[in-house]
Amino acid sequence: MSSLQAISHELQTFIKSRASFKLINFASSSSDIHQSQQLDQQIHLRLPLISPLTKRLLILDSSFNPPHKAHASLIVQSLLHNYDPAGTVGFATINKFSVLLLLSINNADKKTAKPAQFHHRVAMMLELANELQNNYGVAVGVGLTDKSLFVNKSKVVSEYLATVATGANSGAAVDTTHAEVTGTHYDATGVSASNPQRLPRLTFLLGFDTLVRFLNPAYYKPSSLEDSLTPFFKDSDLFILEREDGKLTLKEQNEYINKIGTGELDQKDDFGW
Protein backbone atom coordinates (compact mmCIF):
# COMPACT_ATOMS: atom_id res chain seq x y z
CA MET A 1 0.00 0.00 0.00
CA SER A 2 1.44 3.38 -1.01
CA SER A 3 1.46 6.40 1.30
CA LEU A 4 -1.38 8.04 -0.66
CA GLN A 5 -3.43 4.86 -0.43
CA ALA A 6 -2.80 4.67 3.32
CA ILE A 7 -3.87 8.30 3.73
CA SER A 8 -6.96 7.72 1.59
CA HIS A 9 -7.82 4.77 3.83
CA GLU A 10 -7.47 6.97 6.92
CA LEU A 11 -9.80 9.57 5.39
CA GLN A 12 -12.45 7.07 4.38
CA THR A 13 -12.31 5.44 7.81
CA PHE A 14 -12.82 8.82 9.45
CA ILE A 15 -15.74 9.77 7.17
CA LYS A 16 -17.50 6.43 7.71
CA SER A 17 -17.00 6.59 11.47
CA ARG A 18 -19.08 9.77 11.76
CA ALA A 19 -16.63 10.96 14.40
CA SER A 20 -15.96 14.68 14.67
CA PHE A 21 -12.20 14.61 15.13
CA LYS A 22 -9.32 12.28 14.37
CA LEU A 23 -5.61 12.65 14.93
CA ILE A 24 -3.69 10.95 12.13
CA ASN A 25 -1.06 9.12 14.09
CA PHE A 26 0.08 5.59 14.86
CA ALA A 27 -2.16 2.64 13.96
CA SER A 28 -3.41 0.68 16.93
CA SER A 29 -4.09 -2.82 15.62
CA SER A 30 -1.83 -5.45 14.12
CA SER A 31 -3.82 -5.43 10.89
CA ASP A 32 -2.90 -1.76 10.44
CA ILE A 33 0.84 -2.19 10.99
CA HIS A 34 1.78 -1.92 7.30
CA GLN A 35 -0.44 1.14 6.85
CA SER A 36 1.05 2.67 10.00
CA GLN A 37 4.59 2.14 8.68
CA GLN A 38 3.67 3.93 5.45
CA LEU A 39 2.46 6.96 7.40
CA ASP A 40 5.34 6.85 9.86
CA GLN A 41 7.82 6.94 6.99
CA GLN A 42 6.21 10.12 5.72
CA ILE A 43 5.61 12.11 8.91
CA HIS A 44 8.16 10.63 11.34
CA LEU A 45 6.11 11.64 14.39
CA ARG A 46 8.75 10.94 17.03
CA LEU A 47 7.36 13.46 19.52
CA PRO A 48 4.05 13.03 21.35
CA LEU A 49 1.62 15.77 20.36
CA ILE A 50 0.94 16.66 23.99
CA SER A 51 3.39 16.15 26.85
CA PRO A 52 3.30 17.20 30.52
CA LEU A 53 5.26 20.30 29.48
CA THR A 54 2.74 21.42 26.87
CA LYS A 55 0.93 24.60 27.89
CA ARG A 56 -0.50 25.64 24.54
CA LEU A 57 -1.65 23.85 21.39
CA LEU A 58 -1.26 26.09 18.33
CA ILE A 59 -3.88 25.12 15.74
CA LEU A 60 -3.63 26.10 12.10
CA ASP A 61 -6.97 25.33 10.50
CA SER A 62 -6.90 25.72 6.74
CA SER A 63 -7.94 24.12 3.47
CA PHE A 64 -4.22 23.46 2.81
CA ASN A 65 -4.90 23.59 -0.90
CA PRO A 66 -1.93 23.52 -0.97
CA PRO A 67 0.15 24.18 2.16
CA HIS A 68 2.45 27.13 1.43
CA LYS A 69 5.11 29.40 2.90
CA ALA A 70 2.55 31.70 4.51
CA HIS A 71 1.26 28.75 6.54
CA ALA A 72 4.76 27.94 7.77
CA SER A 73 5.45 31.62 8.51
CA LEU A 74 2.28 31.96 10.57
CA ILE A 75 3.22 28.89 12.63
CA VAL A 76 6.80 30.05 13.22
CA GLN A 77 5.65 33.52 14.29
CA SER A 78 3.14 31.99 16.69
CA LEU A 79 5.88 29.79 18.19
CA LEU A 80 8.05 32.84 18.87
CA HIS A 81 5.26 35.04 20.22
CA ASN A 82 5.36 36.03 23.88
CA TYR A 83 1.98 34.95 25.29
CA ASP A 84 3.04 35.90 28.83
CA PRO A 85 3.79 39.65 29.12
CA ALA A 86 5.78 38.96 32.29
CA GLY A 87 7.90 36.29 30.66
CA THR A 88 10.48 36.02 27.92
CA VAL A 89 10.27 34.30 24.58
CA GLY A 90 12.81 32.34 22.57
CA PHE A 91 13.56 28.94 21.14
CA ALA A 92 13.98 27.60 24.69
CA THR A 93 10.25 28.16 25.34
CA ILE A 94 9.08 26.27 22.26
CA ASN A 95 8.89 22.99 24.20
CA LYS A 96 5.81 24.43 25.91
CA PHE A 97 4.00 24.49 22.57
CA SER A 98 2.67 21.87 20.21
CA VAL A 99 1.20 22.42 16.75
CA LEU A 100 -1.86 20.88 15.14
CA LEU A 101 -2.51 21.19 11.40
CA LEU A 102 -6.27 20.81 11.11
CA LEU A 103 -8.24 20.01 7.96
CA SER A 104 -12.02 20.18 7.88
CA ILE A 105 -13.85 17.98 5.41
CA ASN A 106 -16.68 20.51 5.54
CA ASN A 107 -16.41 24.22 4.85
CA ALA A 108 -18.76 26.88 6.22
CA ASP A 109 -18.68 28.66 2.87
CA LYS A 110 -18.54 25.60 0.58
CA LYS A 111 -21.19 23.11 1.55
CA THR A 112 -20.14 20.31 -0.79
CA ALA A 113 -17.13 18.33 0.39
CA LYS A 114 -14.96 16.46 -2.10
CA PRO A 115 -13.09 13.81 -0.07
CA ALA A 116 -11.33 12.46 -3.16
CA GLN A 117 -9.19 15.60 -3.21
CA PHE A 118 -8.30 15.51 0.45
CA HIS A 119 -5.71 12.72 0.48
CA HIS A 120 -3.32 14.85 -1.57
CA ARG A 121 -3.75 17.74 0.88
CA VAL A 122 -3.16 15.47 3.88
CA ALA A 123 0.02 14.11 2.25
CA MET A 124 1.32 17.67 1.90
CA MET A 125 0.26 18.48 5.47
CA LEU A 126 2.29 15.50 6.68
CA GLU A 127 5.30 16.82 4.81
CA LEU A 128 4.84 20.27 6.37
CA ALA A 129 4.46 18.73 9.83
CA ASN A 130 7.65 16.76 9.37
CA GLU A 131 9.55 19.85 8.17
CA LEU A 132 8.38 21.98 11.11
CA GLN A 133 9.17 19.29 13.64
CA ASN A 134 12.64 18.68 12.25
CA ASN A 135 13.50 22.39 11.95
CA TYR A 136 12.09 23.63 15.27
CA GLY A 137 11.96 20.58 17.53
CA VAL A 138 8.26 21.10 18.21
CA ALA A 139 5.67 18.32 18.15
CA VAL A 140 3.38 18.68 15.14
CA GLY A 141 0.26 16.62 14.50
CA VAL A 142 -2.22 16.41 11.63
CA GLY A 143 -5.92 16.23 12.44
CA LEU A 144 -9.22 15.82 10.62
CA THR A 145 -12.60 17.23 11.62
CA ASP A 146 -16.08 17.38 10.18
CA LYS A 147 -16.77 20.71 11.89
CA SER A 148 -16.81 23.92 9.85
CA LEU A 149 -16.97 26.61 12.57
CA PHE A 150 -14.09 27.46 14.89
CA VAL A 151 -16.33 27.30 17.95
CA ASN A 152 -17.14 23.68 17.15
CA LYS A 153 -13.56 22.81 16.20
CA SER A 154 -12.38 24.10 19.56
CA LYS A 155 -14.99 21.97 21.30
CA VAL A 156 -14.10 18.69 19.60
CA VAL A 157 -10.34 19.18 19.97
CA SER A 158 -10.79 19.96 23.68
CA GLU A 159 -13.00 16.91 24.08
CA TYR A 160 -10.42 14.78 22.29
CA LEU A 161 -7.66 15.95 24.64
CA ALA A 162 -9.88 15.39 27.67
CA THR A 163 -10.80 11.91 26.41
CA VAL A 164 -7.24 10.71 26.11
CA ALA A 165 -6.07 12.53 29.25
CA THR A 166 -8.67 10.75 31.40
CA GLY A 167 -7.76 7.35 30.01
CA ALA A 168 -10.84 6.84 27.84
CA ASN A 169 -8.62 5.50 25.08
CA SER A 170 -7.82 1.84 25.73
CA GLY A 171 -5.36 1.57 22.83
CA ALA A 172 -7.83 0.84 20.04
CA ALA A 173 -9.75 3.26 17.85
CA VAL A 174 -12.53 4.73 19.97
CA ASP A 175 -15.49 6.78 18.77
CA THR A 176 -16.84 9.05 21.51
CA THR A 177 -19.19 10.82 19.04
CA HIS A 178 -17.05 13.94 19.31
CA ALA A 179 -13.64 12.34 18.95
CA GLU A 180 -12.00 9.35 17.40
CA VAL A 181 -8.78 8.30 19.07
CA THR A 182 -6.25 6.49 16.93
CA GLY A 183 -3.03 5.06 18.27
CA THR A 184 -1.77 3.79 21.58
CA HIS A 185 -2.65 5.96 24.54
CA TYR A 186 0.85 7.28 25.16
CA ASP A 187 1.99 7.45 21.52
CA ALA A 188 -1.01 9.52 20.48
CA THR A 189 -0.84 12.19 23.17
CA GLY A 190 2.01 11.70 25.60
CA VAL A 191 -0.54 11.76 28.43
CA SER A 192 -0.85 8.85 30.85
CA ALA A 193 -4.17 7.99 32.49
CA SER A 194 -2.30 7.56 35.78
CA ASN A 195 -0.76 11.02 35.44
CA PRO A 196 -3.52 13.36 34.25
CA GLN A 197 -2.57 16.95 33.47
CA ARG A 198 -4.31 20.23 32.97
CA LEU A 199 -5.24 20.47 29.32
CA PRO A 200 -3.26 22.95 27.22
CA ARG A 201 -4.92 26.13 26.02
CA LEU A 202 -5.92 26.14 22.37
CA THR A 203 -4.70 28.98 20.16
CA PHE A 204 -6.11 29.18 16.65
CA LEU A 205 -3.83 30.84 14.09
CA LEU A 206 -5.76 33.13 11.75
CA GLY A 207 -5.07 35.54 8.95
CA PHE A 208 -6.88 38.89 9.17
CA ASP A 209 -9.47 37.88 6.54
CA THR A 210 -10.37 34.79 8.57
CA LEU A 211 -10.74 36.92 11.71
CA VAL A 212 -13.35 39.04 9.93
CA ARG A 213 -15.31 35.92 8.97
CA PHE A 214 -14.89 34.52 12.51
CA LEU A 215 -16.68 37.61 13.87
CA ASN A 216 -19.46 37.59 11.27
CA PRO A 217 -22.76 37.04 13.17
CA ALA A 218 -24.31 35.37 10.11
CA TYR A 219 -22.40 32.14 10.83
CA TYR A 220 -23.92 31.80 14.30
CA LYS A 221 -27.62 32.50 13.73
CA PRO A 222 -30.04 32.10 15.40
CA SER A 223 -27.66 32.44 18.38
CA SER A 224 -26.04 35.78 19.10
CA LEU A 225 -22.34 36.34 18.48
CA GLU A 226 -21.72 36.83 22.22
CA ASP A 227 -23.53 33.63 23.21
CA SER A 228 -21.68 31.66 20.54
CA LEU A 229 -18.18 32.91 21.28
CA THR A 230 -18.23 33.06 25.08
CA PRO A 231 -17.68 29.28 25.48
CA PHE A 232 -14.97 29.39 22.80
CA PHE A 233 -12.84 31.92 24.67
CA LYS A 234 -12.96 29.94 27.91
CA ASP A 235 -10.54 27.36 26.49
CA SER A 236 -9.27 29.02 23.32
CA ASP A 237 -7.87 32.25 21.94
CA LEU A 238 -6.68 33.66 18.62
CA PHE A 239 -3.30 34.57 17.15
CA ILE A 240 -3.86 36.98 14.25
CA LEU A 241 -1.45 37.69 11.43
CA GLU A 242 -2.09 40.85 9.44
CA ARG A 243 -2.24 40.56 5.67
CA GLU A 244 -0.47 42.80 3.20
CA ASP A 245 -2.59 41.96 0.18
CA GLY A 246 -3.51 45.49 -0.93
CA LYS A 247 -7.12 45.17 0.18
CA LEU A 248 -6.69 46.90 3.55
CA THR A 249 -3.72 48.80 4.92
CA LEU A 250 -1.99 47.56 8.06
CA LYS A 251 -3.31 50.68 9.81
CA GLU A 252 -6.90 49.78 8.91
CA GLN A 253 -6.38 46.22 10.12
CA ASN A 254 -4.92 47.46 13.41
CA GLU A 255 -7.85 49.83 13.88
CA TYR A 256 -10.27 46.94 13.35
CA ILE A 257 -8.48 44.83 15.95
CA ASN A 258 -8.36 47.73 18.42
CA LYS A 259 -12.12 48.20 18.05
CA ILE A 260 -12.61 44.59 19.12
CA GLY A 261 -10.80 45.37 22.37
CA THR A 262 -12.79 48.54 23.03
CA GLY A 263 -16.16 47.09 22.03
CA GLU A 264 -16.58 49.59 19.19
CA LEU A 265 -16.55 47.03 16.38
CA ASP A 266 -19.24 47.47 13.74
CA GLN A 267 -20.31 43.89 13.06
CA LYS A 268 -21.73 44.91 9.69
CA ASP A 269 -18.26 45.75 8.43
CA ASP A 270 -17.06 42.52 6.83
CA PHE A 271 -14.84 44.17 4.17
CA GLY A 272 -16.44 41.92 1.56
CA TRP A 273 -14.91 38.71 2.97
Tell me: the pLDDT tens digits for 14-68? 999 989 999 985 333 333 434 445 554 444 445 788 888 889 999 999 999 899 9
Please check the confidence at residue 220 and state whether its pLDDT lies above 70. Answer: yes
pLDDT at 91: 54
Of 187 and 88, which is predicted with more confidence? 88
Picking from 184, 15, 44, 39, the residue whose alpha carbon sits closest to that of residue 106 is 15
Q: Are 139 and 132 in contact (CB under 8 A)?
A: no
Q: Where are the domains of the chain?
A: 3-207+235-242
How far, in Å, CA of 139 to CA of 172, rounded? 22
**Mean pLDDT, the chain, whole residue set:** 77
206 has pLDDT over 50 = yes
The mean pLDDT value for 204-213 works out to 92
pLDDT over 70 (residue 183): no
Distances (CA, A) of 221 to 152, 211, 218, 227: 14, 18, 6, 10
Mean pLDDT of 175-180: 40
User: What's the mean pLDDT in 195-209?
Assistant: 83
Q: How many Cβ atoms are within 10 Å of 11's Cβ, its own excluded?
A: 21
